[in-house]
Amino acid sequence: MNVQPDLEFIKYIKGAGGDTLKKCYQCATCSVICPLSKDGKPFPRKEMIWAQWGLKDTLVTDPDIFLCHQCGDCSAYCPRGAKPGDVLGAIRAYAYTFYGWPSGLAKLATSAKNLPILIGIPALVIFVMWLLSGAMHIPTKEHFATHGYQQFFGTWGFKWYAKNIFFIVLFMVPAAGLAVLSTFMGVRKLWRSMSEKAGVNSSFRPSVMQFVTDFLWPSLVEIVKHSRFRECKVNIDRVKGHLPMMLAFIGLFIVTCWSLLKNDVLGLFWPSLHGPLSIYDPIKIMANISAVALIYGAFVLWTNRSKMESEGLSTRTFYNWFLIWEVMAVGVTGFAAEVLRWLGIPTVGYIVYFLHLVAVMMLFMYMPYTKFAHIVYRTTAMAFEKYRESPFAKN
Give least dist CB 215 to ligand SF4, A.
21
- The span from the CA of 347 to the CA of 353, in Å, is 10
Cβ burial of 372 (10 Å; 0-12, 13-18, 19+) is buried
Q: From 68-76, 168-176, 181-189, 286-294, give the range in contact with ligand SF4 by CB under 6 A.
A: 68-76
Q: Which of 13, 78, 123, 358 touches ligand SF4 (CB under 6 A)?
A: 78
Nearest distance from residue 80's CB to ligand SF4, in Å? 4
Q: How far is the CB of 301 from ligand SF4 (least distance, A)?
A: 15
Does 80 interact with ligand SF4 (rule: CB under 6 A)? yes
Q: What distance in Å separates the CA atoms of residue 368 and residue 363, rounded to the nearest whole number?
A: 9
For residues 37 and 219, which CB has a smaller minimum distance to ligand SF4 in the complex? 37
Distance from C-alpha of 183 to C-alpha of 308, rounded to nearest angstrom: 30
Residues 150-189: x where in contact with ligand SF4 by CB under 6 A, - otherwise, as a string: ----------------------------------------
How far apart are alpha carbons 137 and 147 in whole angstroms?
A: 13
**CA angle 317-20-72, nearest 5°?**
65
Choices 78-86, 166-174, 244-252, 359-367; region in contact with ligand SF4 by CB under 6 A: 78-86
Report CA 47 to chain centroid distance, whole Å: 23
Which residues in 3-62 contact ligand SF4 (CB under 6 A)? 24-30, 34, 36-37, 43-45, 48
Smallest distance from the beta carbon of 249 to ligand SF4, in angstroms?
22
If the CB atoms of residues 20 and 333 are measured against ligand SF4, the closer one turns out to be: 20
- Binding segment for ligand SF4 (CB under 6 A), chosen from 65-73, 155-163, 244-252, 263-271, is 65-73
Stretch of 64-72, 114-122, 208-216, 358-366 lying at the interface with ligand SF4 (CB under 6 A): 64-72
User: Is 39 exposed, middle or buried, given 0-12, 13-18 or 19+ CB atoms closer than 10 A?
Assistant: exposed
Tell me the C-alpha distance between 141 and 221, whole Å.
Answer: 47
What angle is formed at CA 234 by the lines to CA 232 and CA 239, rounded to 5 degrees? 50
Based on the shown chain and the rule CB under 6 A, indicate whether residue 74 belongs to the binding site for ligand SF4: yes
By the rule CB under 6 A, 82 interacts with ligand SF4:
yes
Q: How far is the CB of 162 from ligand SF4 (least distance, A)?
A: 47
- Cβ proximity to ligand SF4, 323 vs 359, nearer residue: 323
Residue 170: CB atoms within 10 Å = 14
> Judged by CB, which is closer to ligand SF4: 36, or 273?
36
In angstroms, give the least distance from the CB of 31 to ligand SF4.
7
> According to CB under 6 A, which one of 10, 13, 73, 367 is a site residue for ligand SF4?
73
Binding-site member from 59, 60, 68, 323 for ligand SF4 (CB under 6 A): 68
Number of residues that bind ligand SF4 (CB under 6 A): 28
Q: How far apart are CA 366 and CA 330, in angstroms?
A: 14
Helix axes 346-366, 115-133, angle to 10 degrees: 120
In 3D space, the residue among 358, 380, 357, 356 whose CA is nearest the CA of residue 368 turns out to be 380
What is the per-residue DSSP string for 266-334? IHHH-GGG-SPPPTTSHHHHHHHHHHHHHHHHHHHHHHHHHHHHHTTSS---HHHHHHHHHHHHHHHHH
* CB closer to ligand SF4 out of 52 and 370: 52
> For residues 369 and 110, is the Cβ–Cβ distance under 8 A?
yes
Of 54, 63, 84, 122, the one binding ligand SF4 (CB under 6 A) is 84
Does position 70 interact with ligand SF4 (CB under 6 A)? The reply is yes
85 part of the interface to ligand SF4, by CB under 6 A: yes
What residues line the site for ligand SF4 (CB under 6 A)?
A: 24-30, 34, 36-37, 43-45, 48, 68-74, 78, 80, 82, 84-85, 88, 232
